[in-house]
């Protein structure tokens, strides 16, 4: 009897432990799958970094960058398994004659990855990891890369001649030596990353390689995860953002979230209010799918400080897109790297917005709110709102003198209003407003009363409105 009882308690204990471990993995939020949860609690992902492949940074260069992000409240970085920047190391061992042996790993490559994953895990910084980045083999990068047959001792000349041969060509042309190496690489990569619970996966960066390529590797990764008894969450980033949403909706069994980063630039995305409307539209499409809403991530918010990169847009656009994505119902935002004038990275401007975002999220429950459109604009004003209807409302105002009327759609008698100055990172003094609805009755047109909100200065800010009575 004792042994039977002891055995039963052991089984119950093991089941409880496995349940807790399953909840600790980054995954769609159980109560609102528009967002993520981590270690059993909902989490909004936001951040910025000066590099796309942070794992290539060593020692204090990496840890100081992560410490800075964490000190601002940020919790999200992008990491491509890229090796095209000066000083980056390759996955394969270099021989004394300068050539590479594709059958031997460069152990330092994998050690750096483990260091990066360990350091981010310790700080609860979520990593969105991209496996394939086909820009690694573009132009002069191919000339010096170990995968160029001229630079290794394994492949005959002509086996691959350009990046398309290595990526899409391995599958579409049934290039078995290349495909075998790719499988070996992915297996090694996942054998390391599966040891961590704070990783989201992306098949490829700005892929134009076709659905068959994307799905092949998505299925490969999901199968390897299943064999390792590991649950992973995966997406596929397309160069055209609407195609990315279409792709994950079409192949819902393979993909767990949408990546809409390309909406955050001038050349492939949209400017002004259209950018926000895209996020709303894709959210409605995902919500209408029988599988229900899934997270929409933005691992790249484009826009350089002075706007000299025509494709990326201006730094002010980057700041606006950072906030508009949140108010449009997206699940993550991250400022893109500043190199090449693509983004503002973790610059001073980015730091101010990340800190202010942390303050906002501490004061407003985005996980219970939805994008809200009951706004009357005064003049040429611009604003974006979210609401937990009848309880709390939040409004983002871009730079400028903005005036609106917010309709709470309840007979609220008393509300409080508090503004967050994004630049200064400070909450302004709270104001309490009494609303006299009786004076606004109209048999023909209904109730016309709204809450008047005007930005205190010509600066970007957020207002939180709470119904008190």
Domains and CATH numbers, the chain: 2-363 (3.20.20.80), 370-467 (2.60.40)
CA–CA gap between residue 232 and residue 224 (Å, rounded) = 10
The string of pLDDT tens digits covering residues 165-210 is: 999 999 999 999 999 999 999 999 999 999 999 999 999 999 888 8
String of b and e for 375-403 (b: at least 16 CB within 10 Å)?
beeeeebbbbbbbbeeebbbbbbbbeebb
CA–CA gap between residue 281 and residue 228 (Å, rounded) = 37
Place of tokens 């090449």: 340
- Residue 246: both structure tokens together: 């279409």
CA–CA gap between residue 94 and residue 343 (Å, rounded) = 34
- Whether the per-residue pLDDT at 419 is higher than 70: the answer is yes
Residue 226 C-alpha from the chain's centroid: 24
Residue 311 C-alpha from the chain's centroid: 20
Residue 159 C-alpha from the chain's centroid: 36
* Other CB atoms within 10 Å distance of the CB of residue 67: 13
CB 463 within 8 A of CB 419: yes
Q: What is the mean pLDDT of residues 93-106?
A: 98
Q: What are phi and psi of 451, to 5 degrees?
A: -100, 115
5-14, 121-130, 160-169, 285-294: the lowest-pLDDT one:
5-14
CA–CA gap between residue 151 and residue 22 (Å, rounded) = 44
pLDDT grade, residue 443 (50/70/90)? Answer: low
Give the DSSP H/E element, type plus range, for residue 117: helix 107-122
Place of tokens 């998505």: 218
- Residue 383: both structure tokens together: 């604003």
**422 vs 210, higher pLDDT:** 422
Strands 126-132 and 76-80 come out as parallel
Give the DSSP H/E element, type plus range, for residue 461: strand 461-467
351-360, 404-413, 444-453: the lowest-pLDDT one:
444-453
CA–CA gap between residue 273 and residue 261 (Å, rounded) = 16
Q: What is the mean pLDDT of residues 281-292?
A: 94
* Other CB atoms within 10 Å distance of the CB of residue 469: 9
pLDDT of the residue at 2 = 54
CA–CA gap between residue 51 and residue 57 (Å, rounded) = 9
CA–CA gap between residue 208 and residue 214 (Å, rounded) = 9
* Other CB atoms within 10 Å distance of the CB of residue 348: 8
Q: What is the pTM of this model?
A: 0.93
- Whether the per-residue pLDDT at 266 is higher than 90: the answer is yes
pLDDT of the residue at 448 = 56
CA–CA gap between residue 398 and residue 271 (Å, rounded) = 13
DSSP state at residue 150: G
- Residue 230: both structure tokens together: 């590991």
CA–CA gap between residue 274 and residue 280 (Å, rounded) = 10
Q: Kindly tell me the sign of the dihedral angle through the C-alpha atoms of 407, 408, 413, 418.
A: negative
Q: What are phi and psi of 27, to 5 degrees?
A: -160, 165
The string of pLDDT tens digits covering residues 446-462 is: 555 689 999 999 999 99
CA–CA gap between residue 101 and residue 385 (Å, rounded) = 56
Nearest CA-CA partner of 404 in 452, 449, 460, 466: 452
Q: What is the mean pLDDT of residues 354-361?
A: 98
**296 vs 469, higher pLDDT:** 296
Q: What is the mean pLDDT of residues 121-142?
A: 95
pLDDT of the residue at 17 = 40
CB 205 within 8 A of CB 128: no
DSSP state at residue 369: -
The string of pLDDT tens digits covering residues 303-331 is: 998 899 999 999 999 999 999 999 999 99
pLDDT of the residue at 1 = 61
CB 50 within 8 A of CB 338: yes
CA–CA gap between residue 243 and residue 206 (Å, rounded) = 11
The string of pLDDT tens digits covering residues 65-92 is: 999 999 999 999 999 999 999 999 999 9
CA–CA gap between residue 101 and residue 205 (Å, rounded) = 26
DSSP state at residue 141: H
43 bridge partner residues: 36
The string of pLDDT tens digits covering residues 381-409 is: 999 999 999 999 999 999 999 999 999 99
String of b and e for 265-276 (b: at least 16 CB within 10 Å)?
bbebbbeeeebb
Q: What is the mean pLDDT of residues 348-370?
A: 98
* Other CB atoms within 10 Å distance of the CB of residue 215: 18
- Residue 44: both structure tokens together: 């909004």
Q: Mean of the per-residue pLDDT values for the chain?
A: 93
């Amino acid at each position: 009897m004792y042994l039977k009882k002891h055995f039963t308690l052991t089984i119950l204990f093991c089941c409880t432990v496995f349940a807790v471990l399953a909840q600790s993995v980054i995954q769609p939020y159980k109560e609102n799958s528009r967002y993520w949860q981590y270690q059993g609690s909902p989490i909004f992902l936001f951040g910025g970094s000066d590099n796309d492949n942070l794992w290539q940074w060593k020692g204090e260069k990496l840890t100081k960058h992560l410490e800075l992000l964490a000190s601002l409240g940020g919790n999200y970085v992008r990491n491509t398994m890229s090796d095209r920047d000066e000083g980056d190391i390759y996955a394969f061992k270099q021989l004394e004659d300068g050539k590479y042996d594709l059958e031997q790993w460069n152990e330092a490559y994998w050690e750096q990855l483990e260091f990066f994953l360990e350091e981010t895990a310790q700080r609860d910084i979520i990593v969105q990891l991209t496996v394939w980045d086909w820009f690694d083999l573009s132009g002069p990068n191919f000339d010096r890369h170990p995968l160029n047959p001229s630079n290794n001792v394994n492949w005959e000349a002509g086996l691959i001649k350009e990046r398309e041969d290595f990526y899409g060509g391995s599958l579409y042309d049934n290039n078995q030596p290349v495909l075998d190496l790719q499988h070996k690489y992915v297996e090694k990569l996942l054998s390391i990353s599966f040891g961590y619970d704070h990783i989201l996966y992306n098949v490829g960066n700005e892929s134009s390689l076709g659905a068959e390529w994307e799905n092949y590797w998505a299925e490969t990764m999901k199968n390897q995860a299943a064999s390792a008894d590991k649950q992973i969450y995966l997406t596929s980033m397309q160069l055209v953002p609407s195609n990315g949403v279409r792709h994950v909706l079409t192949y819902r069994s393979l993909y767990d979230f949408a990546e809409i980063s390309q909406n955050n630039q001038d050349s492939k995305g949209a400017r002004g209010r259209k950018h926000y409307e895209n996020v709303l539209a894709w959210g409605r499409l995902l919500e209408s799918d029988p599988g229900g809403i899934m997270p929409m991530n933005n691992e790249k918010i484009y826009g350089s400080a002075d706007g000299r990169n025509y494709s990326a847009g201006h730094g002010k656009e980057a700041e606006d897109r950072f906030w508009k994505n949140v108010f449009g119902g997206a699940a993550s935002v991250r400022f893109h790297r500043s190199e090449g004038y693509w983004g503002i990275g973790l610059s001073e401007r980015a730091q101010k917005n990340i800190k202010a975002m942390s303050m906002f999220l501490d004061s407003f429950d985005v996980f219970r709110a939805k994008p809200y459109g009951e706004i009357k604009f005064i003049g040429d004003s611009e604003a974006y709102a979210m609401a937990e209807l009848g309880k709390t409302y939040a409004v983002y105002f871009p730079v400028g003198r903005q005036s609106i009327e917010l309709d709470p759609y309840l007979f609220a008698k008393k509300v409080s209003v508090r503004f967050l100055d994004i630049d200064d990172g400070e909450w302004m003094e709270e104001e309490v407003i009494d609303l006299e609805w009786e004076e606004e009755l109209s048999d023909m047109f209904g109730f016309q009363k709204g809450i008047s909100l005007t930005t205190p200065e010509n600066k970007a800010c957020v207002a939180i409105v709470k119904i008190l009575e």
